[in-house]
Homo-oligomer: A and B are copies of this chain.
């Protein structure tokens, strides 16, 4: 009988929280006690776990001294306030927000890429941004074989990246447009149904938005290459769930396509989806609900002798958020690095 843990989900009622709950059940995570935490307006809600109803409690009512593991997905502000308290009380926090990702003392972990980093935590482990996780999983097997010199990526990000409310908004907008009405906007600044727009996070002085800089800076940290050359264009598209990415890679030497395909086929967390005859490649509707990142259209870059092009789709709520967090916790357990407090 393996040891079992007292686990808290912080932000249990959100899109990622809901997925965390499902994954913990599906993967039979060793849980002794599951504590569901959320903001005051969700307190009292009941969520099901393994056939049992669990009451949602306020984060401020949590007793972190009695919790071994916190899976946090309640936004950066909440994490900034509560993750250090939980860590100080001896819990390990796997934090899905951007609050600690670039903190040099906090490991930023994709288990398929840099599992060893997770072991050097001091109470908080950061889960990378969704687009970064998906890209890292797909590129790491290639990077290990031959260091990547430059990445140019354009994203196709689904509504779910902005939460369950945004998914609902896109559906309502589509309904309105089909009925010849004006779509209303709330979660997003512009209508997304039958439209698209560059990612609406704030821009820095160089014109890159936060989402793009996450792809740049987080990939560098995860890969351990502080000067890795990355440029990203992040775009929201009217897809409900799962992100896609068109990725152009530059190496120092030519990278044979067959070799790249073999590496990807053998890589953990990657599923190669390619049928040239049928024009069948990764699509968000097929990536949705899958653990693996779907990768395809691997081809030599016509414009550069040492370039490769590839295309991916991945479920950004699952591998891009909740699953990666659970995998980090499982990794700690497998390395006997998750303690049950007395």
Contacts and interface: CB of A to CB of B under 8 A. Distances in A.
Interface of A: 150-152, 154, 156, 170-171, 174-175, 178, 189-191, 193-198, 200-203, 206-209, 216, 229-231, 233, 235, 237-240, 244, 246, 248, 257, 276, 278-281, 283-285, 296-304, 307, 309, 311
A239 B194 contact: yes
Contacts of A193: 174
Q: 10 tightest CB-CB pairs across the interface, nearest first?
A: A207-B299, A154-B154, A229-B303, A154-B246, A231-B303, A233-B246, A195-B285, A200-B279, A197-B283, A231-B302
A299 B197 contact: no
Given A190-B283, A248-B152, A238 B237 contact: yes
B203 A150 contact: no
Contacts of A154: 154, 233, 246
A219 to B, nearest CB: 11
Contacts of A302: 206, 208, 216, 229-231
Copies per complex?
2
A257 B171 contact: no
B194 A279 contact: no
A285 B174 CA distance: 13
Given A156-B237, A237-B196, A297-B207, A150 B283 contact: no
B194 A307 contact: no
8 contacts: A154-B246, A170-B194, A194-B238, A196-B284, A202-B279, A208-B302, A233-B248, A237-B237
Given A198-B279, A240-B194, A276-B207, A235 B304 contact: no
Contacts of A206: 299-300, 302
B248 A231 contact: yes
B304 A150 contact: yes
Given A150-B304, A246-B154, A198 B281 contact: yes
A311 B209 CA distance: 13
Of A178, A208, A285, most buried by chain B (CB within 10 Å of CB) is: A285
A194 to B, nearest CB: 5
A139 to B, nearest CB: 14
A244 B235 CA distance: 10
